[in-house]
A and B are shown apart, each in its own frame.
Chain A
Amino acid sequence: MGMSFNPPYPAGTVIKGKWRGNRYIVQRMLGKGANGTVYLVQREGRREQYALKIGNDTLELQSEINMLTSLQSCKMRSEHRSRRGAGLSSYMLESDDFGDTGNIPFYVMRYVEGRPLHHFLAKRGASWLGLIGMKLLEELNKLHRCGFVFGDLKPENVMVSDYGDAELIDYGGASPIGRSVKQFTEWHDRGFWNAGSRVGDESYDLFSFAVLCLRLLNESGLKAAAGQLPQTRNADELLKLARSLPDKKLGSWLCIALKGGFSGSAQAAEIWKQQIYSRRQQRLETIATPAWLKGAFALSLFVLVFTLYWVFFN
């Protein structure tokens, strides 16, 4: 996909918008996606950093901008209704063109600092999945309520901050509900597993979400299941993987998602909250006492007894 003819812009490059006139200074490249390159930029004269995406293809990027624009206005409407004021996240800040001929389209979005979900969990442990999953399901639900599916949901498209705040990045694969899914990744695709159509609906995203969890918790098992012949590859293999997870409640949540059993992402998020997210919080209280604390407690008891003995018998 013609990515090779776009060498990355070096740090210091000034990207000046043709129509709106704002100037952004490139600090470094953040990543290359299927249909563009994302840079970390600073707006001239301001401190804040933003992420700026330059497309390979005018049409595709414009299509993405259109989708983000309608998401943005849907979001503003719902925030207005709930009177919660300005939300923290916004899908897109502005879009413009640049270049000598003014023909390279770009758009600017909020910069999400963090690391991709699979790297985060590998470093911090699977116990974070309850919290991060909760946030992701809420994000998906927001998107669904605005009439879109995310489509290409995978760990690479989830950015997690050091404190476990998760954000979806790269909305290039999002499409209106009821239309064909534009962009997907084999393992996360419902069609790949002969488990349903490629028409974008809420359960499509929930299916991808379930595969994402399986991939994070048992990647080798998922790989083995995906390696089967296409004719025999089916969702039963995924169900088996889900059932073999040590966390039984999570396993049965995943089974429902894989079978398309939730009425939508609202219900899926609600059950995740009750069964997986809240349970984690309860478990925190019954966490095992560390050995050093036991030792210290024993020592202090001993000192107390010794002190009492010394006080009373001397």
Chain B
Amino acid sequence: MKQILLITDGCSNVGESPVLAAGYAFREGITVNVIGVVDEGTIGELGSREIGDIAKAGGGLSRIVGTAQLARTVQMLTRQTVVQTIQQAVNKEVHKILGNSSLAQLPPQQRSEMVQVVDELSETSPLRIALLIDASASMKPKLAAVEDAVRDLALSLEARAGRSEIAVFHFPGRSGGEDAQLDLDFTDHIAQVRSLFSRLKMRGATPTGPAIFKVIEAFQGSIALDEPRALLTGKKHGDQEGMIGGYVV
């Protein structure tokens, strides 16, 4: 599973449309979640619409929250998206086997087994998540909360049974020339994100769209990781294998 988590506080104002960029990401199999952080005032109608649209185009979820709820929201969105991605894959299989019925319409026993599979895969499937942090000037007072949220996410990722990798980008990049700057390349040493924030410099405009494109490139550039289906050939749970294999594409 691949996810981008965009944390921003307003409208993009430079370069390609971030909604278009998110559409590209989704087509490439990367889900885009967006969190808008606001403390004083509101994010504006334009900003909140853009946040919703990026998530819709990116097949993900969006929330607009204050700094106090940021950590909880980051953690929750990431988890929900993992479950949702697995569930979509499982639902597709259900359609194939049982025709037009969804999870909710299955008889209790079958549903119970299906959900066991979803739970198992959500916990054990490899996950790669790229954090894309808006570091424009207006985000400066919120950086401490973002840092807290990222630490918190790191804890939850470390607790997963499956392999988790994290990468961190911020935008705009150095000298305004770069769209997004890579702060930490994909690593399963999740703890590394904790020492990252002293290096973040906040300035400039909000090129959200170009930044998302940059992250898509990073996903493609690095060696492709095992997708959920790779689990089927894995070593765990000998007798459950058949069941899992049966349900997932």
List chain A positions with a Cβ less than 8 A from chain B: 1, 19, 58-59, 62-63, 65-66, 69, 95-97, 102-103, 105, 178-182, 186, 191-192, 197-199, 229-230
Contacts and interface: CB of A to CB of B under 8 A. Distances in A.
A17 to B, nearest CB: 10
B74 to A, nearest CB: 13
Given A63-B119, A230-B151, A180 B161 contact: yes
B123 A63 contact: no
A103 B118 CA distance: 19
Given A191-B152, A197-B155, A58 B108 contact: no
A178 B115 contact: no
Given A66-B115, A230-B148, A179 B87 contact: no
Interface in B83-101: 83, 87
B147 interface: yes
Contact of A59 (B79, B107, B115): B115
B124 to A, nearest CB: 9
Contacts, number: 63
Contacts of A19: 107-108
Nearest to B123: A179
Interface in B34-84: 71-72, 76, 79, 83
Interface string B99-110: 000011101100
* Chain B, interface residues (CB within 8 Å), range: 20 to 34
A107 B100 CA distance: 25
Contacts of B230: none
Contacts of B72: 186
Interface of B: 71-72, 76, 79, 83, 87, 103-105, 107-108, 111-112, 115-116, 118-119, 123, 144, 147-148, 151-152, 155-156, 158-161
A172 B161 CA distance: 20
Contacts of B116: 66
A181 B159 contact: yes
A95 B156 contact: no
Contacts of B79: 182
A59 B108 contact: no
Nearest to A196: B155
